């Protein structure tokens, strides 16, 4: 790893850290160390990182703002690439915008609303990156990324880059083609609509207020843990099964919204996994429903 770190530093691709605790880089504040964490300064730097990593035959993992991640207590093997400041560009062409994968989704929705551009109101409270939102087709309040994406610029595992149309992204509920064909969302081109600024702002504020009143963002969390097994809702199933407020170690099924697991102390990833297993077993026993996680679990 020392030689790989040396190569990455010499390539001047951005910040390179060794044994970096990933708890610092996830909204759950949980996660062991990355062998190497790289924060590229640009798309070209990212391509260089991938090239060096592949030449050394080392595993790599990409993360964004860490809002939908549960990282193992044992950390992540190889190189973790964090998309952030180097991939947070924004270009506007009337109602069409081109935005970097590392751009904050909340920030983007706020900026566009102030300009009277509609389409991102649903995203006003989703604390992730644009790249992560495209990757998992993030959504809320009856809309999602598939409704506004024109195309996405993807860096695939083999080092190739390609623009995929919205249809080619194969979006469905909280999924895209990138779950079966792994890649990094470098950029997204979004199609918005001109609208009434006051009306857009009012909708966004209503969505923010709803999240504040119903979701436990006063504690570290990762967002919704389970997918809704429609027509049922995960939170309602968990609450009706008597698990709301259940605590294991430093992790708790939120007593505000049962589809959230919060870090109320020095929670470990294993505490969260144990709660997830408890929910799955209980819902299966009581309702004969197989619960699927929305949170992405990565690491050793």
Both 205 and 93 in a single domain? Answer: yes
Q: Report if residue 180 sits inside a domain.
A: yes
Q: Report if residue 298 sits inside a domain.
A: no
- CA–CA dist 287, 83 (Å, integer): 40
Q: Give the pLDDT confidence of 97-129 residue by residue, as tens digits.
A: 999 999 999 899 999 999 999 999 988 878 788
For the annotated catalytic residues, the residue numbers are 174, 224, 294
Both 140 and 26 in a single domain? Answer: no
Closest by CA to 237, choosing from 272, 285, 295, is 285
Q: Phi and psi dihedrals of 164, rounded to 5? A: -110, 135
> Mean pLDDT across the stretch 6-12?
94
Instruction: Provide the residue count of the chain.
Output: 300
Contact 57, 17 (CB under 8 A): no
Q: Phi and psi dihedrals of 150, rounded to 5? A: -95, -45
Residue with tokens 């009434």: 196
Q: Which of 213, 244, 275 is the last residue of a domain?
A: 213
- Number of structural domains the chain divides into: 3
Both 105 and 206 in a single domain? Answer: yes
- CA–CA dist 166, 2 (Å, integer): 41
The total of other beta-carbon atoms located within 10 Å of residue 162's CB is 12
Q: What CATH number is given to the structural domain containing 232?
A: 3.90.78.10
Both 209 and 94 in a single domain? Answer: yes
Q: What CATH number is given to the structural domain containing 186?
A: 3.30.465.10
Both 92 and 81 in a single domain? Answer: no
Both 195 and 114 in a single domain? Answer: yes
> Mean pLDDT across the stretch 178-194?
92
At residue 55, the pLDDT reads 92
The range of the structural domain enclosing residue 179 comes to 88-213
Q: Give the pLDDT confidence of 42-53 residue by residue, as tens digits.
A: 999 999 999 999
Please give the structure tokens belonging to residue 23.
């708890």
Collapsing DSSP to helix, strand or coil, 264 comes out as: coil
Both 62 and 79 in a single domain? Answer: yes
Q: Report if residue 50 sits inside a domain.
A: yes
The total of other beta-carbon atoms located within 10 Å of residue 22's CB is 27
Question: pTM of this prediction?
Answer: 0.86
């Amino acid at each position: 790893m020392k030689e790989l770190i040396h190569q990455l530093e010499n390539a001047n691709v951005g910040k390179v850290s060794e044994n970096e605790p990933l708890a610092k880089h996830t909204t759950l504040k949980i996660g062991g160390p990355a062998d190497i964490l790289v924060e590229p300064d640009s798309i070209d730097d990212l391509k260089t990182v991938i090239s060096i990593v592949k030449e050394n035959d080392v595993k790599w993992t990409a993360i964004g703002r860490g809002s939908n991640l549960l990282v193992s207590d044992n950390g992540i093997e190889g190189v973790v690439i964090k998309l952030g400041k180097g991939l947070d560009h924004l270009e506007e062409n009337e109602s069409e915008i081109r935005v970097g994968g590392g751009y904050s989704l909340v920030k983007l929705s706020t900026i566009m609303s102030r300009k009277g551009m509609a389409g991102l109101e649903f995203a006003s409270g989703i604390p992730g990156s644009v790249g992560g939102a495209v990757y998992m087709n993030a959504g809320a309040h009856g809309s999602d990324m598939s409704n506004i994406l024109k195309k996405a610029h993807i860096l695939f595992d083999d080092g190739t880059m390609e623009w995929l149309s919205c249809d080619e992204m194969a979006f469905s509920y909280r999924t895209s083609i990138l779950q079966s064909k792994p890649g990094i969302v470098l950029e997204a081109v979004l199609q918005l609509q001109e609208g009434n600024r006051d009306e857009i702002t009012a909708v966004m504020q209503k969505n923010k207020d709803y999240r504040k009143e119903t979701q436990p963002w006063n504690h570290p969390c990762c967002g919704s843990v389970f997918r809704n097994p429609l027509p049922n809702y995960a939170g309602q199933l968990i609450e009706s099964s008597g698990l709301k407020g259940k605590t294991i170690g430093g992790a708790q099924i939120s007593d505000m919204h049962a589809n959230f697991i919060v870090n109320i102390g020095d929670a470990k990833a294993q505490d969260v996994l144990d709660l997830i297993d408890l929910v799955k077993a209980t819902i299966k026993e009581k309702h004969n429903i197989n619960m699927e996680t929305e949170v992405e679990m990565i690491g050793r």
